[in-house]
Chain A
Amino acid sequence: MQLVGRAVWDASCLLGDLTLFSLRMLGWLTVRLPRGRTLWPILFQVGVESLPVILITGGFIGMVLAVQSYDQFKLMHLENQLGAVINVTLVKELGPVLAAVMLAGRVGSAISAELGTMRVTEQIDALTALGADPIAYLVVPRFLACFLLIPLLTLFADGIGVLTGWVFSTVVLGIDSFPYWHYSTRFVTGWELFTGILKSVFFGAAIAVIACHRGFHSRAGAEGVGRAATEAFVYSFIAILTIDFLLGAFLMKMYFVLWPM
């Protein structure tokens, strides 16, 4: 019982600290935008350098969805509608979530390890000593990069997933292109696309804040930095699933409010 109480207390402290950290970051975001020479390398690191891994992720999601769905749809003689299920799942759910998980591993852990190393080698103290606020100088550009580019990277993952799903379904599974796209365009609407992108905006913000927070609170030594990077990924993963569930439920409710049956 004591252990459970302790765990709840620790989780509450972490959430409170994370909220204060986010508020400080948002405060700086409204006061001063980062300079180009600080922002561009981070945009490059988060965006361009993540592109290969995102394209691989998206590509395989499309093909895996085709493989997994085909047999069940064939049993019901609905294989012509395979495009709809692949593309709806991809755009609305699996594309944003798996891209975010991949980016939490690649970008989030890298940010956390970098800031953790800066913490333990006193570079963050050096920033303060030289008149720069570490949140403004380190966190704000990383937040902006993740917030703006993770949705864009998700679009790339979606795009390549749609493409590989179609190629695999038509070339390997022998489904005709016309019904594939016909059902896809019927079921994948602007709402599905909006849902997926909105989720990825929240995922991007959560990955950035969690990774920076863990990096800032890294303990000394290689073990401390390694732990910070692991925590950044694990906490981001939990945040992604939580946001996915809450936002999914909220958007479904909104859909029925906006377009009643």
Chain B
Amino acid sequence: MSNDQPIIELRGVSKRFGTQPVLRDISLDVHRGETLVVIGESGCGKSVTLKLMMDLMKPDAGELRWDGRPVRSMSTREITRERLRFGYLFQSAALFDSLTVFENVAFGLRQNTTMPEDRVRDIVRARLRDVGLEAGVVAEKKPAQLSGGMRKRVGLARALALDPEVILYDEPTTGLDPIMSDVINELILQTRARRPVTSIVITHDMITVRKVATRIVMFEPLSRLRPDEPQLIFEGSAADAFDSPDPRVAQFVRGEAGERLQELAAA
């Protein structure tokens, strides 16, 4: 496999829910080893893009490719196998309520390997340690007994259990206090330092953007665009985003309301 070959490609992808279009003609490559950060206002289709990249959702138009191969040409079994190369940290962590922390982290290993149970135990302990949790303290707890930050860290441990090549983070710091947000940002950096991993991060948090991004793309909600305007309005480095001449990008990264206040007043 050539290193220039994008690990994930979206080609002209569109998606709508009922009558509500969310994505329009998006083309985006994710390259091996990079940390791509996707930013944009709520409702611009960032989380949908992440799910499309992992084939958890099918596009209405366009194509998804993994390592240059169209996913549409793969069998269900092949897609399931290939998907294990990806780890996904869900926005709400999406831990299985009925299982303990240990069972959550062990789930992928038990489901997809014939590993002996003592090996599974070792891996679960190591992954929990990687995210700063002690197995002896949390392993037998149910997700409902954990704080938001702990749930995210268990979600990350679960995503890392199968040693994925790509990790997709859906708003990893949303809803966390500033200290726990920084812990998660550091974990993203540590994970990248420990293994040759490709990361895709969706976030509104500009501290995360500055800290982890090697490349940034920004989406604009379709409701704010004319039919002929591209939805992907920015692509570049974090520094480029903060110096962008495009007022939409500059306002977003600086967290300025701008003309939205007039829109609110007019409404």
**Interface of A toward B, CB cutoff 8 Å:** 41, 117-118, 121-123, 125-133
User: B107 at interface (Cβ–Cβ under 8 A)?
Assistant: yes
Chain A facing B: main interface SS: helix
Tell me if B251 is interfacial: C-beta within 8 Å of chain A: no
Chain A: which residue is nearest B159 at the CB level? A129
**What 1/0 mask marks residues of chain B from 87 to 110 whose CB sits below 8 Å from any chain A CB?**
110111011111000000001100
Closest to B108 in A: A130
Determine whether B187 belongs to the interface, using a CB cutoff of 8 Å to chain A: no
- Tell me if B56 is interfacial: C-beta within 8 Å of chain A: yes
- CB-contact partner of A126 in B84, B94, B112, B162, under 8 A: B94
Contact of A125 among B51, B81, B158 (CB under 8 A): B51
Residues of A within 8 A of B84 (CB): 130-131
Q: A121-B92, A122-B91 are in contact. Are A129 and B98 (CB under 8 A)?
A: no
Q: Are B88 and A126 in contact (CB under 8 A)?
A: yes
A130 touches B158 (CB 8 A): yes
- Which B residues are in CB contact (< 8 Å) with A125? 51, 56, 88, 90, 94
Interface centre among A118, A121, A129, by most B CB within 10 Å? A129
Give chain B nearest CB distance to A20 CB in angstroms. Answer: 15
A125 to B168, alpha carbons, bound, how many Å? 13
Q: Among A126, A128, A133, point to the contact of B96 (Cβ < 8 A).
A: A126
Residues on B facing A (Cβ under 8 Å): 51, 54, 56, 80-81, 83-84, 86-88, 90-92, 94-98, 107-108, 111-112, 158, 162
What is the bound-complex CA distance between A131 and B90, given in angstroms? 15
Tell me the nearest residue of chain B to A124, going by C-beta: B94
Partner pick for A133 among B80, B91, B94, B95, CB 8 A cutoff: B80
Beyond the given pairs A117-B97, A128-B83, A129-B88, 16 more chain A to chain B contacts, judged by CB atoms under 8 angstroms and listed by A's residue number, are A121-B97, A122-B91, A122-B94, A126-B90, A126-B94, A127-B96, A129-B56, A129-B83, A129-B86, A130-B108, A131-B80, A131-B81, A131-B83, A131-B108, A131-B112, A133-B80
Q: What are 28 A-B contacts with C-beta separation under 8 Å?
A: A117-B97, A118-B97, A121-B92, A121-B97, A123-B95, A123-B96, A123-B97, A125-B51, A126-B90, A126-B94, A126-B95, A127-B96, A128-B56, A129-B54, A129-B56, A129-B83, A130-B84, A130-B107, A130-B108, A130-B111, A130-B162, A131-B80, A131-B81, A131-B83, A131-B108, A131-B111, A131-B112, A132-B111
